[in-house]
Amino acid sequence: MKKVLYLGTDPSYYKAKGAQIIHYPVIQIVPRMDSYIQAAYNKLASYTHLLFTSKNTVRVFFQQLNDLGISKNLLEPIIIIAIGQVTASYIKKYAHCSFVAEEETQEGVVAFLCTQSLEKTHFFFPRSSLSRNVIIGFFKKNHILFQDCFIYDTVIQKNPPLPDLGDIDEIVFTSPSTVKFFLEIFSAIPLDKKLVTIGPITQKALSEII
């Protein structure tokens, strides 16, 4: 049986027919909380749109909402937008998902937003401290009111024992961070393995080092 090494946080949505999934997450999600973030959450009722660009953001957002004692009912009138179907599926565990940007990049989200009426909108965009600024640039260029905040950090995770790469047939990189941290942990990218990347941004990060 083919053995697949999955480097992201949650392999449950990765389909590998006839394969054994070996989960070795090289990233750890570390939530942040400060007065700036809390103030952004406290203004939840003022936002017209809520934007999620990763499943990790969804998990952290709803955990923080719960920790702060803020009701999910405040989300009912808000238009919630997801990047891709996996992120949308995570949102649906907690709330409704209004729209899904099928192209799973920030550029895809911008392309979707360009099809929408954005007058009198106020976006809330919680995100990773490592996230790109394509959407923020779009908001600024088009004078769209928004509130963004970094709600978590993505840091390296190196838990013993390390998997024996000699037993692995395929490696799945889920984000540029997994590419970077895999290289830090294992020192090299094994080119004799099948290398799978989730999304074009991850593919670009891998291509730059092999």
Domain 30-153, CATH 3.40.50.10090 — does that match?
yes
pTM of the predicted model, to two decimals?
0.92
pLDDT for 100-144, tens place per residue?
A: 998 999 999 999 999 999 999 999 999 999 999 999 999 999 999
pLDDT of the residue at 14: 84
Residue 168: which of 44, 23, 66 has the closest Cα? 23
Write out the chain's pLDDT in tens, 210 residues: 899 999 999 998 887 778 899 999 999 999 999 999 999 999 999 999 999 999 999 999 999 999 999 999 999 999 999 999 999 999 999 999 999 998 999 999 999 999 999 999 999 999 999 999 999 999 999 999 999 999 999 999 999 999 999 999 999 999 999 999 999 999 999 999 999 999 899 999 999 998
Type of residue numbered 99: F
pLDDT of the residue at 101: 95
Strand order in the sheet with 19-23: 19-23, 2-6, 170-173, 194-197
Q: How many CA atoms, within 13 angstroms, populate the side-chain half-sphere of residue 41? A: 23
Residue 18: Cβ-neighbour burial (10 angstroms; 0-12, 13-18, 19+): exposed
Could you give the 3-state DSSP secondary structure of residue 23?
strand
Under CATH, to which class is 2-26+157-207 assigned? alpha beta
Kindly report the backbone phi and psi dihedral angles of residue 160, in degrees, each rounded to the nearest multiple of 5, phi listed first: -75, 155
CA–CA gap between residue 178 and residue 56 (Å, rounded): 14
Residues of the chain with CATH 3.40.50.10090: 2-26+157-207, 30-153
